[in-house]
Chain A
């Protein structure tokens, strides 16, 4: 076979041109989409990792909030229980105090009434004794007043007037 050098050169050139065209075609049709596909996939994975992390954080937060609420609820319950106990104690103290003061009032009233009763008895006894004494005096004097007594009374009166 006789190849001349110029035909070889043209061959090489044509091959190079082929390679070049192939290179361009591959770059356009294969390299870019594949690169895009890979970068998309990369991004997707990154996003999923990020989301998972966020979910994890949010789950942690919810858990800690829940714990907090439980703690708060327990504390409130204890406080309410002790408050109620204190109120009940105060109320029972107030009831006892009122009962005591009511009892004292009743006793004082009863004493005052007894005092009144005693005074009434004294006064009515005095009146009865006075009435009785005067009646006795009348009965005696009815019989005993004499002529001399009458004259003496009249004389005293006229001397005074």
Chain B
């Protein structure tokens, strides 16, 4: 890529020199009248545009976000305190941009495109961070599933490519784990992943990147990181940068998964910025346009029509609630924007049900259109069974006598709850999910002890992978389950069960 000989360097410089034309240099300038807390007030830049990048002295950049008649309020993007009163500010005429392209895969960058992983970044193109969402006519209905590898989600709350599915729950309930497991499960598919960390600890981000690297997920992932020590302006920009990066891939026809972790901290950073810019506070001190902030971000996730290259961006925004209160301001805002939510409960988490998905309150508004054929066949009545089980479980707790049909319902519900438990970073393939649910439907697990279910399923997988590997790979690839396949699997279940011993 690089010619290491000196002739190469001088030829490169000469070429650049030839391409440059000398013209009159003209720029707008203003003066800093007041500065502090990451916000600078500037006078005398009459032609400044909204969102324009301003260059302060010492090459510090800021963004003009407040345009008044006689002054401008700008947020400083760096945390350095080297902006002085009466210093000159030059308007660059450009808006905040981010590098985009294939060279970003496997890299960790900050919201204005500077690499954080110690290597150079040579971007192919630059996209502005704020862009218009795709128009209505350019979109198509969602029809392709995005496999998360988590049984509870793929069977009852299926996610399609191009959907926005919110992951909402209290702290330490496994929200980030679900997002990471989904990213890890895209290893053998063509989905590109963008992970946006907003306001998190640098140590957590580093641990996350290591996990992605160890599991081989980093080559198809871009990490955009705005740590808790970055300025509110950087934390505000981070998700927009991630959206622009994913849009570049989408416009090339690829499917992209973007995770915003988390939008609660994004809202807090925007609130900080708005209060410092003296914008009037609204409910919970958030500015009046907090809804618009998230709606314009999430609208950029779409499923494009064939005429527009047919790509898609699936968004998994994460919101942290306090004490399970999903009727707070920001959670209700984002719930009304997204196409469904995955609700994680602390009680379920502490009682050992992990992932702690509350299937009653979780919903996917795209639904069955986003499920592959095999899952559609085997997951028909799961939600209803689980909700009936939950109703009846109250009676069982009081030790009351139940009739045989209720007893069977309770037993099946317990089996299903146990089957939905899954270890972290162990996604299931389509074949494994289909096998579990088909076996459940055919009552294969009914006479196995609950605590032996995991062992039974693992041995069943091993047996099927050894003796039915052709069937396994065909189901994995096509996602369909024909009648013959189903009959073959049922036969396999009875053979395995006969030979299973503890």
Contact = CB atoms under 8 A, between A and B. Distances in A.
Contacts of B12: 126
B24 A160 contact: yes
Nearest to B6: A125
A106 interface: no
B498 interface: no
B10 A120 contact: no
A116 B2 CA distance: 11
Contact of B4 (A112, A118, A126, A157): A118
A114 B389 CA distance: 60
Contacts of B2: 118-119, 122
A59 B490 CA distance: 51
Q: Which of A118, A126, A133, A160 has the most CB of B within 10 A?
A: A126
Nearest to A157: B24
A126 B24 CA distance: 26
Contacts of B10: 129
B120 interface: yes
A130 B120 contact: no
B174 to A, nearest CB: 30
B120 A120 contact: yes
B9 A126 contact: yes
B275 interface: no
A123 interface: yes
A129 B120 contact: no
Contacts of B423: none
Q: How large is the interface on B (under 10, 10 to 19, 20 to 34, 35 or more residues)?
A: 10 to 19
Interface residues of A, number: 15
A116 B115 CA distance: 13
B118 interface: yes
Interface string A1-42: 000000000000000000000000000000000000000000
Interface in A20-78: none
A33 B57 CA distance: 139
Given A157-B24, A160-B24, A116 B13 contact: no
Interface string A124-136: 0110011001000
A133 B10 CA distance: 11
B4 A130 contact: no
B438 to A, nearest CB: 33
A118 B120 CA distance: 11
Contacts of B119: 112, 116, 119
A125 B24 contact: no
A116 B24 contact: no
A119 B118 CA distance: 12
A83 B10 CA distance: 67
Nearest to B8: A122
Contacts of B24: 157, 160-161
B288 to A, nearest CB: 43
Contacts of A116: 118-120
Contacts of B120: 116, 119-120, 123
B13 A129 contact: yes
B234 to A, nearest CB: 24
B13 A130 contact: yes
Nearest to A122: B2
Interface string B24-43: 10000000000000000000
Contacts of A126: 9, 12-13
A129 B9 contact: yes
A151 B435 CA distance: 86
Interface in B92-127: 118-120
Contacts of A118: 2, 4
A125 B7 CA distance: 12
Contacts of B9: 122, 125-126, 129
Nearest to B118: A116
9 contacts: A112-B119, A119-B2, A120-B120, A122-B2, A123-B120, A125-B6, A126-B12, A126-B13, A161-B24
Interface of B: 2, 4, 6, 9-10, 12-13, 24, 118-120
Interface of A: 112, 116, 118-120, 122-123, 125-126, 129-130, 133, 157, 160-161
Given A116-B118, A119-B2, A126-B13, 6 more contacts: A116-B119, A116-B120, A119-B119, A125-B9, A160-B24, A161-B24
The 6 lowest CB-CB distance pairs between A and B, nearest first, are A119-B120, A116-B119, A122-B2, A126-B9, A125-B9, A160-B24
